[in-house]
Amino acid sequence: MHPNKIFRQTPRDRNIDFAREIGFGVLAVSVAGAPLISHIPFSLSEDGKWAEFHLVRSNPIARAMKDGPLTARLAVQGPHSYISPDWYGVDDQVPTWNYVAVHLIGKAALTPEDGMKDLLDRQSAEYEARLIPKTPWHSDKMSAGVMERMMRQIVPCRMQVEQIDGTWKLNQNKTDAARHLAADHVDGYGMGAEVRLLAAMMKNDS
């Protein structure tokens, strides 16, 4: 996370809302040797105090958690893009990379496996709700016994969130005119909705 305080003034509630809306991140834990990481979908509580997810039973993080809770970081990445120094309309600038990221830090642990189906049903309901007017998918559509066989391959997990760090690096250290001009270039240069979203954030955040 960038240490400059000007990029780290976003209120806690906004960081929580952002992480919940993305709903996908990189879970990292420290063990002997290199850190272990896993790319996971997750659900975050309204107050941001806990996150729920599942892992494949053979996942190294799931195996490590058999010995007890682990200190973990769940990194949630938002829109990002290269920023050319030519885009500010000001001399003597250097290249940089703008991005939004929120890190959830706390203790991750396995939870009782009899809660697996409830977790999956709640998560799928949350994600399917984003696809309305599509008729939501539900596990009841599965053939008898298939869901149970598939669930044997995964384990439910919960992370108690103790700290939330957010970095919204959007050229807040530049003048409004320079930042907005760079945002226009980002919007024109970028491909896809993600970079257009970053450009909008650059214009709206100061």
Residue 113 in any domain: the answer is yes
Convert the pLDDT of each residue in 20-32 to its tens digit: 999 999 999 998 8
Domain of residue 12, CATH code: 2.30.110.10
Q: Is residue 189 part of a domain?
A: no
Residue 146 has pLDDT above 70, yes or no: yes
Average pLDDT over residues 133-158: 93
Number of domains comprising the chain: 1
Does residue 25 lie within any of the structural domains?
Answer: yes
pLDDT of amino acid 161: 98
- Residue-level pLDDT at 191: 67
In terms of residue numbers, what domain contains 84?
5-173
In a domain, 178, yes or no: no
> Does residue 70 form part of some domain?
yes
Residue 88 neighbours by CB under 8 Å, 6+ apart: 174, 178, 179, 181, 182
Residue pair 65/136 in contact (Cβ under 8 Å)? The answer is: no
- What pLDDT is recorded for position 33? 80
Integer Cα distance of 83 and 81 in angstroms: 6
Residue 79 domain-assigned (yes or no): yes
Question: Phi and psi at residue 21, in whole multiples of 5°?
Answer: -65, -40
